């Protein structure tokens, strides 16, 4: 979306010219499912689907938020406490980002008008929420006369907004990838530090997203329940993080855990090891090995972490039958959302359509299919 188009839409909604325009990409989680808040490592990529934010100082003393070119405008007293719910729940993300700036001792405008635009499918597990938090923080800092923070600090602000003001106990994966993303690269995060690095993306590889159309909402309790089970298991086994366990030490302590805790811990330990092997595969440009790791990751999410769904499993199974598909797995928090497929550059629209038709024939809604490229991270326009 061009700057001129964004400015035009902002003027239609608020009657003034935007002072700041920013953007942040969605992300795909390549591998490292739920390892981030357990102290492990993850690999993700920024994608060429974005959230854009345009903002100006408020004409009134209130905060005004609009989502899309025609949606209702929400007007908020800056002294508002608590979370929004129902149709206004989306306001928690930009309002939380604004509140987080003060928590980080950063300047912020006392009131503002803000328009959100996006070509990211909502609820598909591509981190539209993280992109919105980062783009909002950048735009509001610009309004307050502050230059953009370092990517690590921007990611921390976004994660704080999601943890504190949205109520999702996420790790740094989503915000970190959206902040650090670079075209033709993947982002590796050691989440404990956190420490960020870039890995070249093999030019012969492609990513496809198959959105199951099962909207996932991490604030509905499933994500928090998995987070709690992991933290409980770490406490019982006497380690700061589940990734501190080895296969041997986990096996010795399994009898102390409930069935659910044991499965969650095993998934995290094995998934973190898969991330390390994925780095080796990427460095060797071994896409076959990388695809096998993605497949193993999905099976673990399905049977151990239990955050998959029949629709996601169907898509993964159908994709594995297609030539040119190295591997496929659910991407993001799970409980709905999307599947990511790693393919050769010979996998095309005809094969993607065939998978969608077969999936629909099995009684599922037709998936939204998207061919994705890597993209740069959050920035001002």
Q: What is the 3-state secondary structure (H, E, C) of 302-322?
A: HHHHCCCCHHHHHHHHHHHCC
Q: Is residue 365 part of a domain?
A: yes
Is the bond preceding residue 56 a cis peptide, omega within 30 degrees? no
How many structural domains compose the chain? 2
What is the C-alpha separation between 274 and 297, in angstroms, rounded? 8
Is the bond preceding residue 194 a cis peptide, omega within 30 degrees? yes
Nearest to 125 by CA among 39, 24, 209, 1: 209
H-helix segments, the chain: 3-14, 92-103, 128-143, 151-160, 173-180, 222-237, 247-253, 259-283, 287-300, 310-320, 349-361
Q: Is residue 253 part of a domain?
A: yes
Nearest to 100 by CA among 43, 175, 142, 159: 159
Q: Are residues 210 and 193 in the same domain?
A: no
Q: What is the domain range of residue 325?
A: 205-372
What is the C-alpha separation between 27 and 155, in angstroms, rounded? 13
3-state SS, residue 112: strand
Instruction: Write down the pLDDT at residue 217.
Output: 57
209: β partners: 340, 370
| Residue where a domain stops, chosen among 161, 184, 200 | 200
Q: Are residues 322 and 347 in the same domain?
A: yes
Q: What is the pLDDT of residues 233-242, one digit of tens each?
A: 999 999 999 9
CB 97 within 8 A of CB 133: yes
274: β partners: none
Q: Is residue 176 part of a domain?
A: yes
Q: Are residues 126 and 220 in the same domain?
A: no
Instruction: Write down the pLDDT at residue 137.
Output: 98
Q: Is residue 328 part of a domain?
A: yes
Q: Are residues 183 and 235 in the same domain?
A: no
Q: Are residues 313 and 345 in the same domain?
A: yes
Instruction: Write down the pLDDT at residue 220.
Output: 61
Q: Are residues 186 and 256 in the same domain?
A: no
**The two structure tokens encoding residue 360:** 């629909």
Q: Are residues 195 and 209 in the same domain?
A: no
Nearest to 311 by CA among 362, 373, 368: 362
Q: Is residue 336 part of a domain?
A: yes
| Residue where a domain stops, chosen among 168, 200, 232 | 200
What is the C-alpha separation between 15 and 2, in angstroms, rounded? 19
């502050």: which residue's tokens?
146
Q: Are residues 23 and 111 in the same domain?
A: yes
Q: Is residue 332 part of a domain?
A: yes
CB 281 within 8 A of CB 296: no
| Residue where a domain stops, chosen among 200, 217, 236 | 200
What is the C-alpha separation between 379 and 358, in angstroms, rounded? 40
Q: Are residues 186 and 303 in the same domain?
A: no
Q: Are residues 136 and 28 in the same domain?
A: yes
Our CA dihedral for 153, 159, 163, 164, rounded to 10 degrees, sits at 40
């959230």: which residue's tokens?
51
Nearest to 301 by CA among 340, 334, 253, 337: 334
Q: Are strands 20-31 and 73-76 parallel, antiparallel or unpaired?
A: unpaired
Instruction: Write down the pLDDT at residue 218.
Output: 53
Instruction: Write down the pLDDT at residue 216.
Output: 62
Nearest to 248 by CA among 264, 258, 237, 259: 237
In the 8-state DSSP scheme, what is residue 20? E
3-state SS, residue 41: strand
CB 114 within 8 A of CB 54: yes
Instruction: Write down the pLDDT at residue 124.
Output: 67
Instruction: Write down the pLDDT at residue 214.
Output: 87
Instruction: Write down the pLDDT at residue 101.
Output: 98
Q: Is residue 378 part of a domain?
A: no
Q: Is residue 177 part of a domain?
A: yes
Please identify every residue annotated as catalytic.
174
Q: Are residues 176 and 249 in the same domain?
A: no
Per-residue pLDDT for the chain (381 aa), expressed as one digit of tens each? 899 999 999 999 999 999 999 999 999 999 999 999 999 999 999 999 999 999 999 988 999 999 999 988 999 999 999 999 999 999 999 999 999 999 999 999 999 999 999 998 776 667 789 999 999 999 999 999 998 899 999 999 999 999 999 998 888 999 999 999 999 999 999 999 899 999 999 888 999 999 999 876 554 678 889 999 999 999 999 999 999 999 999 999 999 999 999 999 999 999 999 999 999 999 999 999 999 999 999 999 999 999 999 999 999 999 999 999 999 999 988 898 899 999 999 999 999 999 999 999 999 999 999 999 999 999 999
Q: Are residues 210 and 344 in the same domain?
A: yes
The CATH number that applies at residue 233 is 3.30.70.890
Residues 6+ apart with CB under 8 A from 132: 24, 51, 53, 93, 94, 97, 116, 118
The CATH number that applies at residue 105 is 3.30.230.10
Length of the chain in residues, anyone?
Answer: 381
Largest CA distance in the chain: 65
CB 137 within 8 A of CB 154: yes
């Amino acid at each position: 979306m061009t700057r001129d188009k964004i400015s035009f839409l902002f003027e239609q909604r608020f009657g003034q010219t935007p002072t700041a325009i920013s953007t942040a990409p969605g992300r795909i989680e390549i591998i490292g499912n739920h390892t981030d808040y357990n102290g492990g490592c993850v690999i993700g990529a920024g994608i060429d689907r974005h959230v854009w934010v345009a903002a100006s100082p408020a004409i009134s003393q209130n905060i005004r938020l609009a989502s899309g070119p025609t949606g209702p405008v929400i007007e908020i007293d800056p002294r508002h406490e608590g979370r929004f719910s129902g149709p206004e729940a989306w306001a928690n993300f930009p309002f939380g980002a604004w509140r987080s700036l003060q928590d980080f001792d950063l300047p912020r405008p006392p009131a503002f008008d803000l328009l959100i635009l996006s070509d990211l499918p909502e609820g598909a597990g591509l981190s539209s929420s993280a992109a919105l938090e980062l783009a909002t923080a950048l735009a509001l800092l610009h309004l307050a006369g502050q230059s953009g923070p370092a990517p690590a600090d921007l990611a921390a602000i976004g994660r704080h907004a999601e943890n504190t003001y949205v109520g999702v106990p996420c790790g740094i994966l989503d915000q970190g990838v959206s902040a650090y993303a670079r075209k033709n690269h993947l982002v590796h995060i050691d989440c404990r530090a956190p420490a960020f690095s870039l890995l070249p993306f093999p030019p012969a590889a492609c990513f496809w997203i198959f959105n199951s159309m099962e909207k996932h909402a991490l604030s509905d309790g499933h994500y928090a329940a998995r987070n709690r089970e992991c933290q409980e298991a770490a406490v019982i086994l006497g380690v700061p993080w589940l990734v501190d366990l080895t296969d041997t030490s986990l096996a010795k302590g399994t009898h102390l855990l409930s069935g659910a805790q044991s499965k969650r811990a095993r998934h995290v330990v094995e998934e973190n090891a898969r991330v390390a092997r994925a780095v080796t595969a990427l460095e060797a440009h071994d896409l076959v090995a990388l695809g096998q790791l993605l497949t193993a990751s999905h099976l673990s999410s399905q049977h151990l972490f239990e955050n998959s769904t029949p629709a996601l499993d169907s898509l993964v199974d159908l994709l594995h039958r297609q030539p040119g598909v190295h591997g496929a797995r659910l991407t993001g928090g799970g409980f709905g959302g999307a599947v990511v497929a790693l393919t050769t550059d010979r996998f095309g629209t005809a094969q993607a359509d065939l998978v969608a038709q077969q999936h629909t024939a099995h009684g599922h809604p037709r998936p939204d299919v998207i061919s994705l490229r890597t993209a740069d991270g959050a920035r001002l326009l």
